[in-house]
A and B are shown apart, each in its own frame.
Chain A
């Protein structure tokens, strides 16, 4: 009896479903997202692919419910409690400016107004000494306000709680006894790191999205259960690992970016399957372009990020985003030609969508040049208006003295260069040579631009995975359970007692084991990655250095110097080094099916006809191929256009491609 591993990834427009059966090929589906109750779209989408949900053995979900609640500012009202005298640290938000030449600058809009920030007395010093005990009486007016104004979420951040959390724990006990139905977020549980503004911001974000995410997860679980699904619901986390819905309910902020990271994690799985350790992953959709790296088979992560100017301290797959997408608009300013960052979005959308857009976009340029066909989108379910695209382009081109073809190719050249700059930013300027990488392109628009982006960075080969439009959802099936644990460990490297360090790591691992076993994984399937945040004495930014279980102190210090040299191009081997945090990622291995992505539509003629396509000002009669009918080993020389339901791949003149054993399209420069 077949069973199924299922992933559902909610996007702005579509919810993507990928199903991996215990036997037979992977299959995918796309259903419209149901914004009023996204769980409905998920349940319907899954049901349409798997008739009996009792056959689902594993379910993982990437949700943007929390992120959307934040972006639309529709989260829960939060009351913040902080240390007496220092409550404004949150409102001041470190007092810095993000843009400099602006007399009318305003700080990022915070989630808690000053009126809802309350202080309580009680203070611990930088090294944990009691300066003043927690004042219980100070909680009384706060509790009264929460009751009276029916506030449902409270965040607590006390200074130095990252290392000495006792007052936060005490505060939770006081509140929980009086306010059993209020969701309480403690800063040290969300982020065990110093810097009170950033940690407060992380805890507030958690409190702000918690009730929304909790309600959503309850409703999703109920709906799936009512259709007979018995499998545990898992959620993708920003760190690239998954967790159970039960765990996610506690600190939902860890799932905030659960959608976008799926693509990078899919990259790590692809990396293992195709034997290429270094991948540069690019995800191009309608409004944005996300770049991330797989280095030595692992997704590169960062420990801090910002959302709309608000900081978050947490382990998160490092994704660099710029506002270039199919909808980016071309415009003219003082004789200069610009593309983006303004986007036509999906309404009105590019001119060719026929929804009232009149400005030319990247999608219009692709259509005008024949790289995209009028029936290419969604397997022909959506037709594009070539005449409207042409009008938009012909109207603007004379303003910069270009003929329409040169103008359309110019739109693509400018946007490709901007995307290439973003790719350089996360590679070359961080000491990584992109020429050692294979480019993996996905998302609706990625495979159209991929070869051009590779050319910009001198990258030799490009992989277009099977189902590029649902690649992120596929990635969610390829990862493991993951929980991150941090302990601040502020010591000069010279004075570190290795036995103490090992005992802290062991302690974190014990915590990790307990958490993961509770999620249903056997202890023998749990593994750990140790790392340390280190820096030169005096530096602020740290480098996260992997720590081997048997490493001595000198090895750790030497590894840090090497990592610094690699990242910044210089190191100071004589300078003193210090530790800041110790980290453990606990991983619980999940069962995966290793059957290949799919069998293809063999035996059918892949040729769909020809279309005039313009490259470098010249029209080429270009064969159009159906991807579903290409079998492993198929190869051809560009120019070729390969169409499938969710994406169109462009192989330009001077490039060749072949289909590999996994069904990926491998595009290379012809020699």
Chain B
């Protein structure tokens, strides 16, 4: 089988590229070692939260941010295109019902009660926007160890005040469980809440505890397959706005988003082949022609005209560091930029220090093609997207998923423009 495009990796960057290419008429195959970071942190699409000051409008802040960080992935994607990628995603992933955009950031509470800037979020999260202030009640479950609403509420009031927002927040705890289990993950709750009986029980337990005028924050577990219905029913039952607060992995909203992508891509003829690791590649005259992946009994070769590398950073093993500190790009052995020289420190003693290794990754040209040290594309037809790109500190900037969407969209665009 010959594909138009092989996408390596099925995190948010790979999924975005695959969806756009499939929509552009490409025969797409997604080859992945395993699930991507959507399952860990896919709840909100943060485009730029801090740079380093808190960002209110990503699209307005990006030009200055990029000028200060010329090696940043956003320096390869013009700000209007970043905004366009979010609009495109909102339109083409209707099942996930995304709200927002690059124009202005929401301020949403994290599970530890810090208001965090996010650009594009599922509708079940959006009504947690703290900017207008108000009265909030946060709901915990005794059987869920990954959410502490009293701690959240207390921090939130103080942190919001520090940002000039007046709000009140309190917490309640519900005995809701499944089969009497004392230790349930958010994912187990979400699956159970796909069943109407448990939803009714949730509403029954919660309804008497909510006061008039309150907005209700729950951990992000309101259903997996049928999140919209769970959310609607709960809002109807309470007569109050309800929103979800993302908490520790696995990320229920991230899994919903992954499922929405997979369905959309499959519907357009795209294929997913999982548990495959790139082990070899073939190239001719500066073009990549095929990749070989490890499979059950022998390597299997996939040929294509274009390739998108979205294998992630260190967390997803797109990059690997050995005990000497040497960093390798694991699929094609591409040049890696920003690696500290031998003998230089790789990490610094303070956890929040700016570590020399943080911006390590693959450097790319304006079409997101990995380049060598001279700035020339390594392969004419290989584009890279997402966390593998050099130049970002996404966890600090609150930019990770935004970079993935913008560069996945841009990589696919470059390929579609080329033919």
Are A and B interaction partners?
Answer: no
A residues with a Cβ closer than 8 A to B are none
B residues with a Cβ closer than 8 A to A are none
